[in-house]
Structure 1
């Protein structure tokens, strides 16, 4: 069981390496959803996404001997950049296994942050196999992007900061990919919220978390044909029990709803969010439409997970 002190200690530990990102509001979006929304803008975070939090915490927990050999992970983009930057900031090396289909903008970010990219086929098996080979060859410590307790605790610090500003949130929405963000956020809601209901947002095209909560076991995806490239991974055995215990439900959204939510935030709030972030916004819109009576005038937090977008491939 992760304790509140572990979360607070982590937040203190990583503060020198992260931004306390702003919480923004929009009267127009509030009017559209008939609720009061508070956007925790991790698109303004270092490396453009919340994942620097968990990456930094995981590295800082390594022994000095482990740090000498560096770290290795596999990621389609945001954790790849986050681990590279965290490693650079702390003074160690990062090996990054990326699928050859990863967005070029995210590969550029990894290189700029000093990470060494190792490309592989776009399958979970290929990613893990190459990461294992690198760890065996170099002695680097493997850090999973989402199924690692230190990473999960680190990701929860974004929600801690949101609750520090808005302690009486009624709902908290997070996008769901590998499960690290929503697991950490749900722990933060348990300890620092006040009867806050945590909900996940997930594409229909990659709805493994939705099905996992229904079946009670970790489910895979037969297709991941979604614009939300950061949400194509599946839950893990460490974060799934946390999600089972503290997440109320998962709201699924289709591709058109994701694009419309992304465009809404770009146009009305004048901030850049990536499709994976838009999934949480789309989930809040869908939930408000279906549960208007319960949602009206409530205080709603949304974790805007990142803003790393390939501007040459905008969906609108």
Structure 2
């Protein structure tokens, strides 16, 4: 039955949850493609052999479609920090939460140990964030616009044709990318792709590979992600309804850390739907529609 249900899942990133016949959560996971990932449990598990004994117990599949793989990673982490099902090995996740601070020296990655440590984020994965910052610095070399550069940096600044006069424009452009402004982000991607292709044409394959990694990391940090916020607002619940199913997401301390669904008539659901902030409507409605399809 669960193999058949996987065909109803979208080929989109998200989080999935397996339940047994008694309704207990067996496992929570994330996927780049929900359809292929969930379907893989009824095939060759390969490096997930420890889950072979779990699969026959799966009676129900639930899933949430996310706007990006990054958002799916955060949602999985939040859910597992709150409660670890039996078949999950790790509470939370392996990636390190970080932010990006922007100052006169340019963008830098900071660990989120204290409030106010970062202006942008949060992001999962320090390595990814550092690669993204490296890519931004490649296009907007803020560090070469300082007023007191040593000899080496001064020579590099002269070669790149930048000076202290370029700093305000560079910082503004970097901030626009970190705010996910489409035009500026596209310009940076195009610039990095051009540098990558030029390096490859010059047989500098190691450099080309590095720039390709920076491109992937840039996509990671600018991807839509709202289930974990840098500054926690008021706690609230997000509701979606479709075909007799009411889905609820719990936002607590800036994180979506709970996800429930139950049968409900539209009349009964209306008072909950009115509580959902407008910016969450599409996410919640999509979650409810997917819950309906998986019934």
- TM beyond 0.5: no
Pick the structure with greater CA Rg: 2
Q: Which has the higher contact order (CA 8 A, sep 6+)?
A: 1
**Higher relative helix content:** 1
Higher strand share: 2
